Amino acid sequence: MRLDKFLSSRNMGSRTQVKDLIRRGLVTVNGRTVRSPEQKIDETRDQVCCQGQTLRPGGHVYYMLNKPAGVVSAVRDDRETTVLDLMKGCVLPRDGVFPVGRLDRDTEGLLLLTDDGETAHRLLSPKRHVDKTYLVTTARALSEEDLNRLEQGVDIGEKRPTLPAKASLLKDGKLLLTIREGKYHQVKRMLLAVDNRVLALKRVAFGGLCLDEGLKTGEYRELTCQEVEILHET
């Protein structure tokens, strides 16, 4: 594939913009500066860096979005704003990019989007028990007994109690809760099980990834190569 076409396909700019980046010496292939937009590369093997950002070989794209409340985790919706609508300047539904799992409409925080179906399937598989960590604002203060019950597993109306979780209180009284399942409205149902209620919910970690504190609500960025490797090792 031509270098300029590869960079454009990885959302580094229009064909004209990436040609300018190449000619200015801002692109390297396997550590060597390349100034020819026509340079042919093997997109499955060659390591390409553009303005200091390494683009992982293999063709798949991975994005971290700091999802705002009021937006649905879907590719398209006729009535609601979707997470893909927030990324129109970067990717479109026809590119095959989709959210990995769902955050409720009123839930904020880390959402992974990719076109890598195999990795998404692995992360969402119930058999793998991938960690998901949430920052929870509750209606009332949680007691030590409440925390112990959440950690041991609670009855949320399923055949079995929830799997053991990690629960701790922060200095501001918010709950940091790590679960290993992805049942419908699970965090909200777990808090109801200890006679409490969720006022606000934000996912701060998923599958070894932590929400980038530099991302404002509604902003997104492509994962670094190191973060992609973390996903593949999860």
C-alpha span between 131 and 183 (Å, rounded)? 13
C-alpha span between 220 and 93 (Å, rounded)? 16
Is residue 189 located within the same domain as residue 146?
A: yes
Task: Give me the pLDDT at residue 59, please.
Answer: 64
CATH code of residue 100: 3.30.70.580
Strands 108-114 vs 198-206: parallel, antiparallel or unpaired: parallel
Q: Dihedral, CA atoms, 215, 65, 9, 227, nearest 10 degrees?
A: 80
pTM of the model: 0.77
Q: Assign 219 to helix, strand or coil.
A: coil
The amino acid present at 115, given as its one-letter code, is D
In a domain, 181, yes or no: yes
Is residue 195 located within the same domain as residue 146?
A: yes
In a domain, 192, yes or no: yes
Is residue 44 located within the same domain as residue 69?
A: no
C-alpha span between 203 and 206 (Å, rounded)? 8
Residues whose CB falls within 8 Å of the CB of residue 14, separated by 6 or more in sequence, listed in order: 8
Is residue 92 located within the same domain as residue 119?
A: yes
In a domain, 185, yes or no: yes
CATH code of residue 23: 3.10.290.10
Note the maximum CA span of the chain. Answer: 65
- Total domain count for the chain? 3
In a domain, 224, yes or no: no
Residue with tokens 């929400």: 211
Task: Determine the structural domain holding residue 82 and report its residue range.
Answer: 62-125+229-233
Task: Give me the pLDDT at residue 47, please.
Answer: 81
Residues whose CB falls within 8 Å of the CB of residue 135, separated by 6 or more in sequence, listed in order: 109, 170, 174, 175, 176, 201, 202, 203, 204
In the residue annotation, 155 being an active-site residue is answered as: no
**Token couple for 41:** 């590369």
Catalytic residue from among 20, 77, 85, 104: 104
Range in 66-75, 143-152, 217-226 with the lowest mean pLDDT: 217-226
pLDDT digits (tens, 9 = 90+) for 129-154: 999 999 999 999 999 999 999 999 99
Residue among 209, 152, 211, 146 nearest 175 (CA): 146
187 near 202, Cβ under 8 Å?
Answer: no
pLDDT digits (tens, 9 = 90+) for 152-171: 999 999 999 999 999 999 99
Q: What are phi and psi of 132, to 5 degrees?
A: -135, 125
CATH code of residue 137: 3.30.70.1560
In a domain, 219, yes or no: no
In a domain, 213, yes or no: no
Task: Give me the pLDDT at residue 131, please.
Answer: 95
pLDDT digits (tens, 9 = 90+) for 181-197: 989 999 999 999 999 99
In a domain, 50, yes or no: yes
For residue 194, the tally of other CB atoms under 10 A from its CB is: 17
Range in 10-19, 84-93, 196-205 with the lowest mean pLDDT: 84-93
